[in-house]
Chain A
């Protein structure tokens, strides 16, 4: 029994690394630009399709295609900020929610038109490999995904703590107006923040590709977890999002193990509702603009 629980916890932790990457992206955009990006999951989907097509057409390993998907999505993010998000900054909830929501719908449906609803998978040499650790089995592609996710999160944290641009970003997250008075260039900071957030989503997509199918609505699987994780971990807080992302992974895995195979989402919604009912003020409900 303990072995079963331990296995479920470990499995959840490994996929939780991916949830953490997506959640960090959502929380980074929210922290700096003050917009909840409903389309974050669709950028994971784009990252997956980039890796899928590179693997299918030129036989590039999905992990190697990180070197393509992350820069490509960083550039996407810069354009996303410059041409779309910038136009609704400070306009209130309605335009902000429905702009990113419409982009999410558009990307999903364009993917459906281009690539059909087929599940597409990439088989790598290590797709079915696993490590044995005492009584536990660890799937190799998931371990790699988790390790790279943690490395990227750590790199982001170091970037935010040590570089001037990172500090400017944190300053803008804490108080945008004062940061601007101190000489922070908001356009540049916003573009880099959105670019980084989308690069993390792209990385999540490439890391998923060796063991998870790509399909047009795949992003929805991840973005719902990310939203709940971001509420749990306090909005705008990168470490909070990381820890809450890992927790969501474990909660989902335990739910699937002990409640039923199709109950992953139910567990997520239950966590969301319980959070709202028990600690709304401590998380987000108390601090609105």
Chain B
């Protein structure tokens, strides 16, 4: 067994994810750890993919979107993958800014509500 590979447990600890998450990512083919009987081993490729997946999740990308995006790397290499990422990221940025706007509106409305109720109470 290669020492540089992480066990299932080590992988969970390294990325701060639950066993359930890790198994699920494997189930939907985001990760393909080496299997030896019931044990799983994760090499640099799985670690790199995991980093990208978690970062993508943080930005709000869907797992399926990320799966397809990771396939591009395998098929067409880094540069195409980066180009696709930039397009995805630009679209996501617009979405996040829209969320920001809605959040601000709700915050303003809540402030107004708080002010009105306070005025009626005093």
Q: Do A and B bind each other?
A: no
Which residues of A does B touch, CB under 8 Å? none
Which residues of B does A touch, CB under 8 Å? none
